[in-house]
């Protein structure tokens, strides 16, 4: 075998510098080089420095998969999300995760799946092939099969959200229930008493908690919530449009509506327009998420904003600590959403019956 010398630096096929080249160059055993690079205690300070210096000069970087074969770690965060559900947040979220991962020299392995079952299968494949050391679980459900899967496979994970059975779970979450409580508080301070709530699918834990926050706000502030004014399973803007229409067509329509998500709330504008109502004066709405689109709505949406990028960053940091062995119980963080006032809510002007009359009148005009 011939060896190619380049300014006394030997390189392998494909120009790659391996630990063997380093060892040869340094006149050390390759095990010694590895130990020096990984700061083992039984390597003297001087050789450790010498090794690291030459390694930097030769631009040596170990192959992640070669390290993994002994360490069992690929330094990668797994993220499997369902195709439709994460759309509006995705870019910020990925930016947060990826940035933190990068600073720790980790990477991010992403997969998308169309259905819940497919998500499980994809996650399983990533586990089996060890494409990731641990997983971030977005959109946790009250009862979440992904958690069972990861628990039984003994793979570290962190939740973006919380769940019912918290055993062994680490998480980062925004206290959406707190935001919903404050939304009620705000609308009541504006004089509203008949307040609707349009929620997402309550099998998701975030929706479950937001509803709890809404109900708690109503009760503690002295109102018995009317079950008829609470709608669930609203996931798209079109759903939100339909649901808003449904509430407004009631005999005693709500004068204000709280939406669990901006996506749903954006449907309110169309519904209001159809009934000749102006959002922000005839009808007050408050929502949650703080999507960019909410600021472009007319009038701008009052919404509780979430720092999605920071969430991604924290989740990545928590997961890495979890993989490194820290206990799940010590890795639980929460944060608050903050009010982003728009012009979609205001002091009560029309009573519920006045609102109802206006709606009837507009319908009459149309026909």
Partner DNA sequence: ATTTAATACGAAACCGGTTTCGGCAAATAG
Partner DNA sequence: CTATTTGCCGAAACCGGTTTCGTATTAAAT
Residues in the site for DNA, rule: CB under 7 A? 12-13, 16, 18-20, 27-32, 34-35, 37-38, 40, 42-47, 62-63, 66-67, 69-71
Orientation angle between helical segments 19-26 and 45-57, nearest 10 degrees: 120
Residues 82 and 112 sit within 8 Å (Cβ to Cβ)? yes
Residues 6+ apart with CB under 8 A from 327: none
Closest CB to DNA among residues 262, 321: 321
5-6/9-10 β-pairing: antiparallel
Label residues 213-251 b or e (16+ Cβ within 10 Å = b).
bbbbbbeeeeeebeeebbbbebbebebbbbbbbebbebe
Q: State which H helix or E strand residue 305 sits in.
A: strand 302-305
Orientation angle between helical segments 30-37 and 19-26, nearest 10 degrees: 100
Q: Which of 148, 220, 293, 329 binds a second copy (CB under 8 A)?
A: 293
Closest CB to a second copy among residues 86, 282: 86
Q: Which of 36, 94, 248, 316 binds a second copy (CB under 8 A)?
A: 94
Residue 158 contacts which entry, DNA, a second copy, none (Cβ below 5-8 A, type-dependent): none
First to last CA, the chain: 91
Residues 352 and 254 sit within 8 Å (Cβ to Cβ)? yes
Q: Binding pattern to a second copy, positions 48-67, x when CB under 8 A? A: -----------x-xxxxxx-
Q: Binding pattern to a second copy, positions 146-165, x when CB under 8 A? A: -------xx-----------
129 binds a second copy (CB under 8 A): yes
Q: In the block, which residue shows the tokens 């919380």?
A: 162
Q: Binding pattern to a second copy, positions 212-251, x when CB under 8 A? A: -------------------------x--------------
Give me the least distance between CB of 64 and DNA, in Å please: 9
Give me the least distance between CB of 85 and a second copy, in Å please: 9
Q: Which stretch binds a second copy (CB under 8 A): 100-108, 180-188, 254-262, 344-352?
A: 100-108
Closest CA to 182 of 211, 214, 212: 214
Closest CB to DNA among residues 75, 193: 75
Give me the least distance between CB of 70 and a second copy, in Å please: 10
Strand, helix or coil at 304? Answer: strand
Residues in contact with a second copy by CB under 8 A are 14-15, 59, 61-66, 68-69, 74, 76, 83, 86-87, 90-91, 94-95, 98-99, 101-102, 105, 107-113, 122, 125-126, 128-131, 153-154, 237, 266, 293, 296
């Amino acid at each position: 075998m011939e060896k190619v010398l380049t300014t006394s630096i030997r390189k392998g096929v494909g120009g790659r510098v391996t630990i063997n080249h380093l060892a040869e160059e340094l006149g050390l055993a390759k095990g010694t080089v590895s130990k020096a690079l990984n700061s083992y205690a039984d390597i003297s300070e001087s050789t450790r420095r010498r090794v690291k210096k030459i390694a930097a000069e030769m631009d040596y970087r170990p192959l992640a998969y070669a390290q993994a074969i002994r360490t069992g770690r690929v330094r990668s965060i797994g993220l499997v999300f369902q195709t439709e559900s994460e759309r509006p947040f995705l870019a910020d979220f990925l930016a947060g995760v990826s940035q933190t991962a990068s600073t720790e020299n980790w990477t991010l392995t992403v997969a998308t799946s169309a259905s819940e079952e497919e998500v499980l299968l994809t996650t399983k494949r990533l586990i089996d092939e060890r494409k990731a050391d641990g997983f971030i679980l977005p959109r946790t459900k009250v009862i979440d099969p992904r958690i069972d899967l990861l628990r039984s496979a003994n793979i570290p994970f962190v939740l973006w959200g919380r769940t019912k059975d918290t055993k062994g779970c680490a998480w980062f979450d925004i206290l959406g229930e707190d935001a919903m409580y404050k939304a009620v508080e705000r609308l009541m301070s504006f004089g509203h008493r008949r307040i609707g709530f349009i929620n997402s699918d309550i099998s998701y834990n975030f929706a479950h908690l937001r509803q709890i926050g809404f109900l708690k706000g109503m009760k503690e502030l002295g109102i018995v919530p009317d079950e008829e004014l609470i709608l669930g399973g609203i996931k798209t803007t079109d759903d939100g449009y339909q649901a808003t229409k449904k509430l407004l067509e009631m005999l005693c329509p709500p004068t204000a509506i709280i939406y669990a998500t901006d996506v749903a709330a954006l449907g309110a504008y169309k519904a209001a327009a159809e009934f000749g109502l102006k959002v922000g004066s005839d009808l007050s709405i408050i929502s949650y998420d703080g999507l960019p689109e909410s600021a472009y709505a007319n009038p701008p949406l009052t919404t509780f904003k979430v720092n999605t990028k920071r969430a991604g960053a924290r989740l990545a940091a928590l997961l890495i600590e979890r993989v490194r062995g820290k206990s799940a119980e010590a890795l639980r963080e929460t944060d608050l959403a903050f009010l982003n006032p728009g012009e979609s809510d205001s002091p009560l002007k029309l009573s519920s019956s006045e609102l109802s009359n206006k709606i009837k009148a507009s319908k009459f005009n149309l026909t």
